[in-house]
Structure 1
Amino acid sequence: MPTLSFCIGIIGNVVSMLLLASPIRTFWKVVKKKSTGDFKGVPYITSLLSSSLWTLYGLLKPGGFLIMTVNGGGTIMQVIYITIFLIYAPREKKIKTATLAVIFDVGFLGTVFAITLLAMHKLSLRLTFLGIICAGLSIVVYASPLLVMRIVVKTKSVEYMPFSLSFFLFLNAGVWSFYSVLIKDIYMGVPNAIGFVLGSAQVILYVIYKNKSRSNRSMDVMEEDGSVHLVKQSIIEMRAYDQDGDFDDGGDKVMINDPILNRGTSLPKSSINRQYNSLKLIRTVSLGPYDVFPNWSDDAISNVKRNFYADHP
């Protein structure tokens, strides 16, 4: 009958493979566009180094089959990701990524393998040496979202912290923390415990700022649409403005208190208002006596003209 640790390890393998498969969508877009865009290759180089070392750790550790399988699969996937990245990256980025891959995934990795297998002969010493290095790398990988968490708190937006990724990081670290307790492995336990705490923090931040992000997006949309509301307000004013400077709608005075329309007044002045004022000025200058005083008779207007010229010879 399978032990509890074996069952938890199987669950950990499934969760980890789902987490490792998360960049597939990203790289599918890279292949379709034939460009890496703004993506960087450093995370995949670091993950390849970590997965490779954990694979060796699982091979050497008695009962470490499940550690070896999940990290062996991760190593293969990271190699595929880096290969695709190098194919479609621009020349400058390609050279930089390839250089880092050679330094860390060939030079550093080969050195650690050589020291572990050739310079150390006791299994306990090998596991201690590898365990410390693997734990350090895992802590770095789990600590990498700290920058994103800082951005979330600063901007009050979870736009750059996808919930699925945060949730799987939290779940993955939790499962492997439990597994490490069952098999009494401190080198797995410490980094995964730290990852569990950071993953929990990410999930909490997402819950806190999820609704605020939506309201911020709504405000952005309203600000973008402010010019449209300003146009609507200007049109209403142009249609309803009477000669006394009041709003008139068929003889009844009305006030426009729509908050959405009034929001537009806080935005930069639109050229529509300037054009409308210019049209009013031009129209006022070009008005004839019959336009200004439509109810006056010809005799009344003639008397006004006669009196004006008499006062202003």
Structure 2
Amino acid sequence: MDLDLSFYVGVVGNILSIFIFLSPVDVFIRIVKNRSTEDFDSTPYISALLNSSFWCYYGLTKPGAFLVFTVNAFGVVAEAVYVLIFIVFAPPKTKNKTAALAAALNIGLLAVVVLVTKITLEGESLIDAIGFVCIGLNIIMYASPLAAMGTVLRTKSVEFMPFYLSLFICLNAGVWAVYAFIVRDWFLGVPNGTGFIFGAVQLILYAIYSKPKTAKSSTAVLEDSMQNEPLLSA
């Protein structure tokens, strides 16, 4: 029964994760259409590619973690496409920096960690080592919206914190935390439990600050002042 339940929960987690991986598609359609990366930053996609790559390694190494591998394999493909598009359409200076960073992290660092762990570790020690790396990377990724949350608190506006992305992150992390509890995998549980908390805080902030302020906007104030100005004779 536990195995069946974990499978269904893992499938739901796969579906939610795919939605999150596909969420930047409109950004890259815009990049391709305009043939320019404008002011977009490639770092989140390079980091996401590295994170998915390590979770693939974890899913392949740990028995019974096939669902962890499948969703992150999709993530590797999606994020690799995003990074490639960014490199193609970025200005020369940004192109070189993006390519160098992507190669250093997603080829160099990944290859070194895989080789070292495969040569020096085996069994549970190997799984634990990969798991600790994945926890660190995942918590960093889930903590990345802290800057956006700080902006919301400072400006009292949720303009720069998309609701649906926050919602899907919260749901995705919650589902994978439940999956981790069922299969007794704390390497999955810790980062996703943390992600669920961060996602829930974002939704709370959205609920608090999503209502428009009662004060007039600067445009409305300007229009009122113009209407109240005495008419000038010709």
Matched, 1:226 2:221: yes
> 1:71: Cα distance to partner?
0.5
Q: Percent identity?
A: 41
Structure 1: gaps (5+ residues): 239-275, 281-313
Which residues in structure 2 correspond to 1:59-98 (within 5 Å)? 59-98=60-99
SS at match of 1:62: coil
Residue-pair matches, total = 233
Residue 25, structure 1, aligned to residue 30, structure 2: no
The equivalent residue for 1:176 is 176
Give the Cα separation in 2 of the matches to 1:145 and 1:82.
20
Q: Could you report, residue by residue, the CA deviation over 1:170-226 in whole angstroms, capped at 9, with x for unpaired residues?
A: 001000000000110111111111111111000000000000xx227x732xx2243
Aligned partner of 2:134 in structure 1 is 134
Question: Distance between the aligned counterparts of 1:171 and 1:140, measured in 2?
Answer: 18
Q: Which has the larger radius of gyration?
A: 1
SS state at 1:132 partner: helix
Structure 2: distance between partners of 1:105 and 1:219:
49
**CA separation in 2, counterparts of 1:22 and 1:231?**
43
Query: Whole-Å Cα distance in 2 between the matches of residues 132 and 35 of structure 1?
Result: 37
Residue 215 of structure 1 corresponds to 213
In structure 2, the CA distance between the partners of 1:93 and 1:219, relative to structure 1 (3 Å rule), is farther
Partner of 1:163: 163
Distance in 1 (CA, whole Å) between partners of 2:48 and 2:112 is 17
Q: How far apart, in 2, do the equivalents of 1:231 and 1:144 lie?
A: 44
Q: What SS does the corresponding residue of 1:158 show, helix, strand or coil?
A: coil
Match of 1:219, SS? coil
* Equivalence for 1:51: 52
Q: Which runs of 5+ in 2 are unaligned?
A: none
Question: How many Å separate the matches in 2 of 1:80 and 1:54?
Answer: 18
Q: Distance in 1 between matches of 2:89 and 2:181?
A: 42
* TM-score in terms of structure 2 length: 0.95
> 2-side partners of 1:86 and 1:142: how far apart?
25
CA shift, 1:38, in A, is 1.0
User: Aligned equivalents of 2:76 and 2:153: distance in 1?
Assistant: 33
Superimposed CA distance per residue, residues 120-147 of structure 1 (whole angstroms, 9 cap, x where no aligned partner): 2x22111011000001000000010111
What is the CA deviation profile of residues 80-114 of structure 1, one whole-angstrom value per residue up to 9, with x for unaligned ones? 00000001111111111111111111111110111
One-letter amino acid of the counterpart of residue 113, structure 1: V
3-state SS of 1:159 partner: coil
How far apart are the structure 1 equivalents of 2:110 and 2:51?
A: 9
SS of the residue corresponding to residue 213 of structure 2 reads: helix
Q: How does 1:152-301 map to 2 (within 5 A)?
A: 152-211=152-211, 214-215=212-213, 219-220=216-217, 223-234=218-229, 237-238=230-231, 276=232
**Cα separation, 2, equivalents of 1:197 and 1:230:** 46
